[in-house]
Chain A
Amino acid sequence: MTAFRISAEPIDPAALARSLVHARAGACATFEGLVRDHNDGRAVQRLDYQAYAPLAQSEGERIIDEAREKFAIVEACCVHRAGALAIGDLAVWVGVSAAHRGAAFDACRYIIDEVKKRVPIWKNEHYADGESGWLHPDNTPVV
C-alpha cells in the first residue's frame, strides 16, 4: 500500500491502523480530520474536496518521506478524501507507528500540518444559506 492516497471512497481507519502494526513499534498515533458543521460563524451543511491528483499524490508521498527522515518512526500512512462529504465524515486520516510515543505524535502532527499547507486539495463548503465558497488554509474565504 502506498503511504499517501487520495480516496474517492470512505476511509476505513481500522484497516489502515492494522497496516502500521510492527513488532518494533511500541506506539501508534493517529489523527482523524472530520467534517464539522460550522466554520467562521457560518453553518456548514456539506462540503466537496477537489484534488489535483497526480501532484497531490507526489507531494503527499514527499511529506511522508520527510517524516521518515525527521522522526524515528516505523510506519506512516495518510489518506485524504476527495468528492462530496457530509457532516461527521472522515475527511483525512493520518497514522504513524514508532518504537516510542514521542516520535509517533511528532510525525503524525508533522504530516497533517504539511498536508494542509502543501498538498493541492481544495475544500468547498456549502452553507445553510445556500451559498458556497472555496477556502484558504486559514479558513478565510477565497475572494
Chain B
Amino acid sequence: MNYRVLYFASLRDRAGMDAEQINSLATDARGLYSELRARHGFTMGEERLRVAINGAFAQWGQTLHEGDEVVFIPPVSGG
C-alpha cells in the first residue's frame, strides 16, 4: 500500500528529506518504521518515538490504510 511519511528533527536530518511517498507491504506503523529504519539508518528505537496517523497520535499496532499520512515523533523539545 502507499503511505505518505513526514520526517521531523533528527529523523529528517538522517533521512535527508521532509517527506516521502512509500509503497510498502507493512500493515501497521510498527512494520513501516522497521522498514524505514533499515532504509534510512535511523538509530532511535520505537520505544523512544511516538507515532501519529493522519494528524492524531496513534498506537504502533494500529492498522494502516491506503494513503495514510504517518509521522514518527522523536522526543519533543519545545518551550
Contact = CB atoms under 8 A, between A and B. Distances in A.
* A and B part of one assembly: yes
B9 A33 contact: no
A86 interface: no
**Chain A, interface residues (CB within 8 Å), range:** 20 to 34
Nearest to B9: A122
Contacts, number: 74
A50 interface: yes
Task: Give the interface residue-count category, chain B.
Answer: 20 to 34
Interface in A77-130: 80, 91-92, 112, 115-124
Interface stretch (B23-31, B32-40, B70-78): B70-78
B10 A142 contact: yes
A122 B76 contact: yes
A143 interface: yes
A118 B79 CA distance: 11
A134 B57 CA distance: 21
A134 B78 contact: no
